[in-house]
Structure 1
């Protein structure tokens, strides 16, 4: 998106009931990311976003036993991925043992994203991660 553009942010939101599964979240996210140039310019970053979405939506469904509200916002500097769930319990990174089958989701998110935060809100919590393009590649809308 050009800096002189009058459009300063774009965003999308979707509710994902527990029954929808994480694949629906990834597919929906992939479709919206395809409208930005990152799909062509930085496919590894798209993969990182999709993995983070998988982890955050899984956490909402499994640990909060809640539907997940998935929100994507591009503000010309950062792609914000926010997942809201109904639990006020903030996530905490764990240190799983070598043989543990789970417990690495937030460690992955922390490694993939430029930054992340979690905060309580009136009806649960939000976990937001930020992704910035490497090397100054700025996503822009793709002409259809």
Structure 2
């Protein structure tokens, strides 16, 4: 138990900052880093869509850090026959919609619009398209967007 006495300001600040806790079997596993842009606005002031978007950005960036140069990130969706989407863009529409842009396994342009209450994604590594020389990394660009906002 933490018996440390906090000022009101410290308690309010602690309640506003996002918390993250992970445990892995591999002690060298890459841990999710929280960009400064995420903690600048208190969680209570964020819409469910914005807060879900920010956390997805962090998970995407962390997942990409673990990929080799022959793989790109994609996500699978539960429920229905949506399949896998190669992530080429992502956004949110306040208060409660998250949108994913990309292409499916056949290369067909795809957009998924999802309510945050239905959000359930699985990040996957797919081989990069043969015609590209470098694997695309969207996590870094998404994180830059968090820093700018």
Larger radius of gyration, structure 1 or 2? Answer: 2
TM superposition score category, shorter chain reference: 0.3 to 0.5
Q: TM-score, normalised by structure 2?
A: 0.32
Greater relative contact order, per chain length (Cα 8 Å cut-off, separation 6+)? 1
Q: TM-score, normalised by structure 1?
A: 0.33
